[in-house]
Amino acid sequence: MTQRISFELNATDGKARTGVISTPRGDIRTPAFMPVGTAATVKAMMPESVRATGADILLGNTYHLMLRPTAERIDKLGGLHKFMNWDRPILTDSGGFQVMSLADLRKLTEHGVTFKSHIDGSRHEITPERSMEIQRLLGSDIVMCFDECPALPADRKRIAESMRLSMRWAQRSRDAFGDRPGHALFGIQQGGLERDFREESAKALRDIEFDGYAIGGLAVGEGQEAMFDVLDYAPDMLPVDRPRYLMGVGKPDDIVGAVKRGVDMMDCVLPSRSGRTGQVFTRHGVVNIKNARHQDDPRPLDEGCACPACSNYSRAYLHHVFKSQEMISGMLLTWHNLRYFQDIMQGMRDAIATGTFEQWEKAFHDGRAQGDIEPL
């Protein structure tokens, strides 16, 4: 009999939680950061390199994969894990956010969304049922409900209509998902920045019952203060015994603030995208490797980091390959950023387990406030 996906909460410190999501493809230690493998690859990284950074799970993108190479093709080739050579858990998003942000000429109805591909202009439709089918063909371990996410700012009427549509789609997603041992379905709380709508959404999702619950509709331009205001109450509306996933977050201080407020899982393109543009995250804040101050500097990016970029290369070299537009630049800086994000997660897991989260958080913010090391 196939193992069911389960969540065990091991320790709490304030609202911060640490635990383990157990899946047939391996354990996911929480709080967890999920690198984004949009088109079946974390850009500039080999899967074994992503694993070496400390990642337990990757995120794949339903919208991008359904357009190219198509879910049916991936299924025929043995599923997404085999296709991209990643044998650990994969979470796929539902495609709803990308339809909102990328697709042209989208038309939204009760049934679903029709849209034109941003790649070649071809017409497609995603419904809750089709999203479940695509994610089944991909073979992902954690499947997300198909939802509609309005861009903020939006008025209360628009937010309410969107949230209630998403809740009807959540029920249809649940019905279409069926019983799939070894795979989990997460519902997505919506409601914008409106507390009453968040409560209504959470109740609807609890009534349907899911294996985990996401907090959606944030990190869409509302700013950190507004996001934290929602996270002060939204996670508490969701079941204690299921994982809570904050979608699309974020910067290091966003992640720490979310965990402090009871979030267990996050994903973001930031560490990989920033690595390709020369923006490097360190314990002492953000470093821009393209700045001329690094061109003669023999020191590592971060002497406390064990990634290959910091262990084997100088700031001068990393500056040189970035300015020369060498491919190794994106590889090394992405590896470093992903390792830094995973080091933050491990630091938080350890601190929550020992009841020292508050001290850890202070040291985290104090270190970043110091700024980069002085130029030579």
> Rounded to an integer, what distance in angstroms lies between the CA atom of residue 338 and that of residue 33?
9
Neighbouring residues of 289: CB distance < 8 A, sequence distance ≥ 6: 278, 279, 280, 301, 315, 318, 319, 322, 333
Catalytic annotation on 343? no
Q: Could you tell me whether strands 104-108 and 113-116 are parallel, antiparallel, or unpaired per DSSP bridges?
A: antiparallel
Helix, strand, coil share (%) of the chain residues, nearest 5: 45, 20, 35
The distance of Cα 136 from the centroid of its chain, to the nearest Å, equals: 20
Q: What are phi and psi for residue 23, nearest 5 degrees?
A: -130, 160
Beta bridge partners of 37: 60
Catalytic annotation on 229? no
Q: Could you tell me whether strands 32-37 and 265-268 are parallel, antiparallel, or unpaired per DSSP bridges?
A: parallel
Beta bridge partners of 116: 104, 123
Catalytic residue among 13, 264, 267, 343: 267
Catalytic residue among 56, 93, 254, 302: 93
> Rounded to an integer, what distance in angstroms lies between the CA atom of residue 42 and that of residue 334?
9
Helices (H), the chain: 47-52, 62-67, 71-76, 80-84, 96-101, 128-138, 156-177, 195-208, 224-231, 252-260, 270-276, 308-312, 315-323, 327-353, 357-370
> Rounded to an integer, what distance in angstroms lies between the CA atom of residue 247 and that of residue 237?
16
Q: Which residues are catalytic?
A: 93, 267
